[in-house]
Structure formats: C-alpha cells, structure tokens
Amino acid sequence: MEIFGSTFDDSVFLEARHRVCESLSSYNAKVCEPEWFCNSTALDTNDALEKQKVYKFRGDLAVRQGNYQKALEAYSSCLEWIADNNLTIRRDVLEGMSRCCTKLGQRDRALELADLLSKEASNTCHLTSLLLLKVSIYDHFGATASKMSSLEQLCSLLPFNPWHWLNLGQMCLQQLENNKITGSCSSERSKSAGEQNDGEAEDKTDWLKACICFIRTRLLLRILQQQQSSFVLQRSENALHSTDEALQRLSPKEATLQALTEVMSEDLIPEKMREDYQDGESLTSVCVQSFRERWWNKVLMIGVLHTDGYQRNEELKS
C-alpha cells in the first residue's frame, strides 16, 4: 500500500527544456516631477487618457487641500474625457464630485450624483460605497431619518460588519438624548395626549433599536477578536468597551437583554459568516432583506416593548 504523498510523477525529475532567451527592447521609465499635472503644459496633448489623468490628479490634490470648488471643477472636466468603458474611474470621479458638493452645501446636486452612481451599481462593493456616501451626505445636512435608513440598509447588506451596527446604535442613542433635551426645553408649554403618546412611542423605538444594535455589535466584535491582533485588536477592544458603556446607559432588564441576544445571534454561524454576503458579489445573486423583515419584526414578536425592559427617555444616564 502506498502512503499518500510518497510517490512522485516522473515528469518532476525531467530536465527543463532549453529555452531561447530573446533580447528584450530597452525600456525607459517615465520620470515625473512632483505635481507635474499642475503645470500649464500638462494639457498640451491630444491624448484623452492623459487629459483624464491630469484633471483627476488636480481634483484629488484640491480635495486634499480643502479647495472643494476647485476640485469640483477639475472632476467635472475629467468626466468629459473618461472612456465609456472605464466605469471604475467614472464612479470614483462621480463620488468625488458628490462629496465636493456636500462640502459646498449643494445638497440636491450631491444627491443627484449619488443617484447616478446607484443606477450603475452592479455589485455589493458598489452598493456599499454608495450607502456610505449617502450616510455622509445626510449626516452633513442633518437628515436624521434618511441617514438612519441608509445605515439600516448597510446593516442588512453587510450583517456581519460590526462597525455599521455600532454607528447605527450610536445614532439611535444620540436621537434619544436629543429627544430628552428637546423635551426638557419644551416642558413649559402644554402637550396634548396624542403628542405625548407619539413622543413616547418614538422613544421606545429608538431605545429598542439602540439596544439591538449594541448587542449585535458586541456579539460580532467578540467573534472577530479571536482572529485579531495588534492595533486591530486594540480598536475592537475600545469599541467593545464603548458598546458596554452604551448598554449600561440604556439599562435593559436582564431578561430583555437575554431575549434580544438570542434573536440577534441566530445567524452568527461561522460557515455562514464566511460564505454569505461576500464583497464584490453580483447584486443579481444577492437577496437583501430589509432591516424590519430580518430583525425588527422578530424583536417585536417577543414583546420587548410591552415589558418593563424599556427605560423612559428621561431616565437615561447622562
């Protein structure tokens, strides 16, 4: 009986064939001076690719310098010279233009450019970049509801990324604290029973979302810590510490905490975490359930909002 690996193919021991080494033509590398693309002569060419590079580099440099109007003009010029089949550079330039418009306070134009990117998204990487772009736009202009919706979509698209869950949880917690400040400032004026009920229902929703987000973050970070080291591990430990502090401030009852943990850990199976929702996967093969369908409805089914686990907004520890 042969032992596995004890035999070799005879071809391994054959002499390599004599190869004819053909002389290669000499190659002269192009040497560019720093910021060569800023020279007035850089555009003295009929090569569309060269013009695209010049405008792209000028835009990137202007962004780095904080001159967003100049960067927007450079990116706009670059867009005219990008080949139809060069989708990567086109997406990069459109995103740069959208971010410049955001910095310049041009909300409608920034969202319009984001919509162009959404029409060309073909894989999960594209969609992830688009959602992160929208989060930054909505955050800049204070569109809380839209920002929260984009973060929920990120959590649904990449359910095993703890940082999106952490961001969503922090936003819900901030919303609760803002409601507390707003409520104390408006305590002098009388409120109708309907307004009070609506405000309390909104607080309950934000409280519960914050709880499930921080619980999910903690679960994911603990799993990832087993494979991390160095500064990556340190970052996770810091985030885990912040998550524990946030849960202490939310103060869910032990029974509530256990019930939510069970719901939020149902899909945390190692095999599934490795295979599902891989970056770059075609959108045609990705079936993304909404945040409500995948987690929220399950949480509501266990009746958490009807238990004593909810702490009223004014009881949150500052």
CATH of the domain at 81: 1.25.40.10
Which amino acid does the sequence have at 144? T
Residue 190 placed within a domain: no
Residues 159 and 222 occupy one common structural domain: yes
Q: Last residue of some domain: 120, 135, 161?
A: 120
Residue 264 placed within a domain: yes
CA 172 distance to own-chain centroid:
17
pLDDT tens per residue, range 129-187: 999 999 999 999 999 999 999 999 999 999 999 999 999 999 999 998 888 777 656 55
Residues 171 and 278 occupy one common structural domain: yes
Residues 262 and 309 occupy one common structural domain: yes
Using pLDDT thresholds of 50, 70 and 90, give the confidence band for residue 4: very low
Residue 129 placed within a domain: no
pLDDT above 70 (res 80): yes
The H or E element that residue 22 is part of is none
pLDDT tens per residue, range 94-115: 999 999 999 999 999 999 999 9
pLDDT above 70 (res 243): yes
Residues 105 and 177 occupy one common structural domain: no
d(CA 154, CA 288) in angstroms, rounded, equals 10
Strand, coil or helix: 282: strand
29/11: higher pLDDT:
29
Residues 312 and 276 occupy one common structural domain: yes
Range of the domain at 171: 144-183+196-318
Residues 99 and 167 occupy one common structural domain: no
Residue 88 placed within a domain: yes
pLDDT at 297: 87
Residues 116 and 165 occupy one common structural domain: no
Phi-psi region of 251 (alpha: psi -120 to 50; beta: other; left: phi over 0): left
pLDDT above 70 (res 7): no
Residues 111 and 155 occupy one common structural domain: no
Residues 162 and 299 occupy one common structural domain: yes
d(CA 71, CA 97) in angstroms, rounded, equals 8
Residues 148 and 69 occupy one common structural domain: no
Residue 179 placed within a domain: yes
Question: What is the number of structural domains in the chain?
Answer: 2
Residues 93 and 165 occupy one common structural domain: no
Residues 105 and 151 occupy one common structural domain: no
**Tally of helices (H runs) and strands (E runs) in the chain:** 13, 0
pTM of model > 0.95:
no
Which amino acid does the sequence have at 132? L
